[in-house]
Amino acid sequence: MVAALVAALGLTGCGNGGTRFVNPGSPSAAPGPTLNVNPADNATDVPVSVEIAPHGGDKLTGVDLADPAGKRITGKLRDDTSSWVPDEPLAYATTYTAKVAGSTAAGKSVTRTTKFTTMQRPANRMDAHLYMTDNAVYGQAMPIVLEFKQGGVAPADRAAVERRLFVSTEPAQPGVWHWDSNTQVEYRPKEFWQPGTKIRGRLALGGLPVGGGRYGKQDITIEATIDSVARVIEVDNATKQLTAKEDGRVVKTMPVSLGKPSHPSFSGTMTIMEKMAKTTFDSSTYGTPVNSPEGYRTEVQFAERLSWDGQFIHAAPWSVAQQGNTNVSHGCVNVSLENGQWIYNWTKIGDPVIVKGTERHLGQGNGWTAWDLPWDEFVKGSALPTAPTAGGSPSASPTPTPSATS
């Protein structure tokens, strides 16, 4: 056995100039650097709101994303380059290929290709409503107001949702979102909008996890304009007078009657939310039976809503004798029929109404209350730690193209 082994070794060592041992081959090349990105390669059940994001100290410079047919998905990097955001939600149950470019934590420029598959369409989806209409013109105090349905968004989930609410303006004005409650979030700049401001927004909720096992139903996009004329209504309980100003100039004054002591009007900075040439006020909608001592069902004209719980400016010909001297309403700002029609024709939704000197103050979230807080307090209502930016959004710019996901 030993002799045979020695003979074998001898044979492998002989030959015409051969080497003593057979070379098994060159050693494998060391793996090169790679980008660390999410979603991971071959990830499944990925939300259609996915953003391509680096991690582990790596940085992103660009993404080329395509669907199975090779169609390119457009998108853009966030301003802080923390992720790449598709311009609209991806399709459900679809495999995408991402060619990602960036640099490693060590500063090496690299690219990589990954694939991931999106989730099936979820059954539990949350609706949202934007109180703005495309291409409409609004007053200078018009906040961007988003209302969430099906229980809204809990505090623990607000930051993730807020990061997907993209706003840009022209000219650029610093702005921020403020959560009034689980169901209402408002966006405003530091000061009233500049006349003629163009507003563009993409509220990118389509397929976004919003907590409680729910997902946003669809993206909402908006393009709107602030009027070139700055109007403001000021109401003073001490004088029982309403003053209408246009570009800082008084254009009309009129007497008013405000809420009686048992139903005082709100003080504060409010916004005209809704305008109705004719409507019916019914106390039962606010919990007071029509046949009770404080109940009523009344036809009114030229009504302009100031709060969710039913305070309006409106024509009240029945209280003309008290207007200018005595408060007799259930909280509304009463004016004459002639003056009510004038205000109705003069104002736009989004105009500010400032009421002062009454017995109680406006409650936060009871209407569009964005302007009733000092700027420093308003900023504290954001779920994000970042300061507002001049572009309006601390994130990727929005796209005006509506989402195909519904």
Domains of the chain: 37-118 (2.60.40.3780), 125-228 (2.60.40.3710), 231-368 (2.40.440.10)
**pLDDT confidence of 181, banded at 50, 70, 90?**
very high
Q: Active-site residue numbers?
A: 314, 332
Q: What is the pTM of this model?
A: 0.84
- Condensed to tens digits (0 to 9), the pLDDT of residues 288-327 reads 676 666 666 788 999 999 999 999 999 999 999 999 999 9
Q: What DSSP assignment string belongs to 283-346?
A: GGGGT--TTSTT--EEEEEEEEE-STTS-EEEE-GGGTTTTTT---BSSSEEE-HHHHHHHHHH
Per residue in 229-250, pLDDT tens? 999 999 999 999 999 999 999 9
Q: How confident is the model at residue 15 (pLDDT cuts 50, 70, 90)?
A: very low
pLDDT, the chain, mean: 88
Provide φ and ψ at 3, rounded to 5°.
-65, -40
Structure tokens at 316: 């009240």
Of all residues in the chain, the percent with pLDDT exceeding 70 is 84
Q: What is the pLDDT of residues 70-104, one digit of tens each?
A: 999 999 999 999 999 999 999 999 999 999 999 99
Rg of the chain over Cα atoms, rounded to whole angstroms, equals 32
Beta strands (DSSP E) in 106-196 are 109-118, 125-126, 128-130, 137-138, 144-148, 165-170, 175-179, 184-189
- Tokens 């807020």, residue located: 162
- pLDDT of 77 reads 96
CB proximity list for 94: less than 8 A, separation 6 or greater? 67, 68, 117, 118
Instruction: Please enumerate in sequence order all residues whose Cβ is within 8 A of that of 305, keeping only pairs 6 or more positions apart, or say none.
Output: 272, 273, 274, 275, 276, 311, 312, 367
Residue type, 302: F
